[in-house]
Structures are given as structure tokens and as C-alpha cells.
Amino acid sequence: MNFTLSNKPLTNVKADCLVVALPDKGDLPESTRLADEALGGLIKKLQKSGDLLGKNAHTVMIPTPDQPWDRLLVVGTGSDKSRTTATFHKALIAMTGQLKEGAAKHALVALHDTPLTGDDTASSESAKLSLIGRTLEDQLYSFNSFKSEKPASRKLNKITVTASAAGKSQKDAFQLGLATGRGMNFTKDLGNTPPNICHPIWLAEQAKTLAKNHEAIKTEILDEKQMEKLGMNTILAVGKGSTQPPRFIIMEYRGGKAKDKPHVLVGKGITFDTGGISLKPGEGMDEMKYDMGGSASVLGAMQVIAEVKPKINVVAVIAAAENMPDGGASRPGDIVTTMAGLTVEILNTDAEGRLVLCDALTYVKRYDPASVVDLATLTGACIIALGHHASAVFSNDEGLSKELLAAGERAGDRAWPMPLWDDYQNLLDSNFADMQNIGGRAAGSITAACFLSRFAKDYRWAHLDIAGTAWNSGKAKGSTGRPVPLLVDYLMSHVGK
């Protein structure tokens, strides 16, 4: 797809389709007003007659002969008072759905002047251009690598997005959005790849390829012997039941000053999760290929950073393993010693994500990080609590939690704070070890975070449980690319600080 940014007048750009916004009521955005003038007041006439609705995400395609554009796509954007980043995003999704299935080869998207509510940063033209770019890349995604019959190619091959000016700030914002969309698509590709291909070594190879394609990224892979030497016994314990050996992936991006502390991302990379000896039910187990959603998001975010090259230092680590049941697998009742020297009684081998993450959280202490954010499809309890709308945020630092929540709001990739009180910690008490790896049915996502918190006491840390947001089930089954937008916004908010 060819994406361009233009500040030329609408009537000076020839395209197969012009896209404009229609509010529920009130004044038309400038682009819509100019299009209406060129069409002799047609938009207002159709709105008055009820043939055009400003209801958010409502779309209507109109033929426009004798114009620089063959057709006009009118996208409802709701009322000015209720038009947030989230509702505007829904309108953009509806727009892209119409374009990708339509007959237009070249679309001219004039939505940059649609007013949004919220703070100046979230409602700025730069923020809107970034969101438009991201949504276009994200929504034009398809995954058909394993289909013998490929779908017909789309007619749409060029999209021009309008802006008030085509200066550096506008271009940078638009390119950041496009890069974020590509990062989401990389994340989706990784998550959608079947587990007979996507195993720990393959995942490590993707990180190597990322470093090969972007010289700003340096990648190192640790094998079992190196992990054993470091004392990463809990990662090794999870991988013991599989013929696919675990891997520990380290990626470094150094775009800031040498003295600047890095921001660290930690990803859970369980490439397939049977539950181990604590075997999961068979129904829906195919979706456990998405249990590496945290690692996929980390890789997607690192690709974005490598593309836009911000002046910031970022380190990413991924603990990759496959959780399978065989004669060598960990048993309920086993006790293992973590890299931190603490002992864990494994009561349930299906609570394996926290076991691989705890060693990773110990490892990253060596970077003296400015912040550490781990990402994991960790608990079904999180889905019960928050559904599929928001990622859960647990943190030992209120300021960090607020930063992540704000980034999610700005990016339209929402998150919600959860408690991490000491009251929950005793649910992890073990009769035989320093702790057990589960705390019972009650507060399952909280006790999982409490477990992780014991290994993150030496730095500002947050845990994102993305079990409800990293993938869709049912007919729309597939990876979502979340929370790459949140991560990118969070990291970019620290550039220059």
C-alpha cells in the first residue's frame, strides 16, 4: 500500500474516493464544508433529508460525477461533545472497512480536522494523523500465509491523507502511526503463526531477523546451558516437558545518551500452553498458541522503535518456552529455585507464565532500569474481571501506573488499574517453600501479580495482564496487535526526558 500525506486543496487532488466526516449535528469540519461547496450543497441536503446520518461509524458511499473524485464516502463521527479518541477510532475502522472492500484504487482521506474532546495532546492534529495512519495499517491487515487459495488482491493500492500542512511534525506523526500499525501487524503475524512453526527457537530467530533488518537493534539469545549457568531454573522447569528447548531473548536499542537509564519491556513467550501435567480442557486449546502474546507485543513495539529511531534507550527481554506434558515435565508439588534464590512450590503447572517471568524480572535488574513493564497473557481471571476491553495494570509505583493508563487513553488502547495490596500476598504462602505459584480461585489475576512483584522490588515496575486484549476468540479469532499502541505511546512520551 502506498501512503502519502498532502496539504493540497481537496479539489486539486484526483482520487477514486474522497472520505469526509459528518458530525451528528453542528458545524461541518472544514474539509467536509469544502467538499459540500464543490458538490453544490449535496452533503447538507442529504443530511437534512435523513439520507446521511452523523451517527458515529455510520458510512454512506455516494457517486460524485464531474468531480476530481469518482465517489464520496461520508463517515459519521457522532457529536462534538462525545467524540473521543476511542469513538474516532471506531469511525476510522468503519471507514477502512468500506475502502478495503470497495472499488476505489486511490482514496483521499480528509479527516484531520475532525475535532476531538480531551487534552490538547490527545486531540491535536498530530495525534489524529498518527491514529489515522495506525488504523489504516492495522485494519488493512490480513493473514493468509497458510491458505492454499489466496484471496483476490484488493483494488485499493494508494491512500492520501490530508493535513493542514505537510511539515516535519505532521509527517513524523503520520509516519509514527504507520510504523505503529506495522508493529501491530508484526505482532499479529507472530501470534497467528501455528505452534508447530512458532516455537521458542523460531521466536528467537524472529528477534535475530529484526536485528538484521534494523542495525539500531542488538540481539542476543541464551540457550539452556547459559540459562542454567545463570540459575534460570523456573524457565527451564516450564520447558522440561517439551522437545522444543526454551530460549531467553535479549534485544537492546540505544538511541539515547549512554548515561540514560533504559526502559525495559519483558514478554511472556509461551509458544504453546497445554497446561503441562495440569492439563487444560481440549476445547479451545488451539488458542493457546496466543500464549506468547506478551512476547509478540514486545517484538512489535521494538520494531516500531527501530523504525522511528527515537532518542531513548530501550531493552526488551523475552522468556520463551513451550509447556507440554511428558515424562520429564514438572509435576504439581515440585519445588524449584528461581534465579533470585527464592524457592517456589509448583502447585499447578498451568500457572507457568509467572514462572518464566520471575527469572526474566530478576535478570533485568542488571540494567538499572528507569522502568520495567512486563506483558503477559497471564490469567483467565483477568478476562472475567475486565472482559476484552482493557488490559489490567498492576504496579509497585503509582506514577508509572498513571503513565501507562494515560498512554492507553491517548492511544485508544485502554488499560485499567488493579490492586496490588499486601493483604493478598499471604495467599501465596507455602508449607514447604518460600512461596507457591498459585493463590487459589479468589483474586487470581491479583495473586499472579503479587507473585511477580516479589521479583521486582528493586525498580519501578508494572505488570500488564493482556489475556483479554491480545487476541479475539470465536469467528473473529486472531491476534489483535494490542497493546503495541499503548507501549509505543508510553515509550515515546519519555523521549527527551
Q: What are the residue numbers of the active site?
A: 280, 354
What stretches of 389-443 show up as alpha helix (H) in DSSP? 398-411
Q: Alpha-carbon Rg of the chain, whole angstroms?
A: 24
* Contact status, residue 391 vs residue 469, Cβ threshold 8 Å: yes
Residue 239: closest CA among 297, 176, 315, 320: 320
- Residue 160 dihedral angles phi and psi, to the nearest 5°: -105, 130
CA distance 403 to 385: 22
* Contact status, residue 323 vs residue 242, Cβ threshold 8 Å: yes
Q: Does an H or E element contain 160, and which?
A: strand 158-162
3-state SS, residue 27? coil
CA distance 57 to 138: 17
* Contact status, residue 356 vs residue 234, Cβ threshold 8 Å: yes
β 158-162/217-222 pair status: unpaired
Is the link from the previous residue into 483 a cis peptide, with omega within 30 of 0? yes
CA distance 106 to 414: 32
- Residue 199 dihedral angles phi and psi, to the nearest 5°: -120, 175
Q: Does an H or E element contain 73, and which?
A: strand 69-76
CA distance 219 to 132: 32
Residue 265: other Cβ atoms inside 10 A:
30
**Cα–Cα distances in Å, from 385 out to 345, 371, 409, 443, 451?**
26, 26, 19, 9, 19
38 phi-psi bin (left φ>0, alpha ψ -120 to 50, beta other): alpha
* Contact status, residue 339 vs residue 359, Cβ threshold 8 Å: yes
Q: Is the dihedral of CA 293, 345, 393, 317 positive or negative?
A: negative
Extract the C-alpha cell encoding 177: 502511526
Specify the DSSP class assigned to residue 466: -
For helices 484-492 and 168-192, angle between their N-to-C axes, nearest 10 degrees: 140
219 phi-psi bin (left φ>0, alpha ψ -120 to 50, beta other): beta
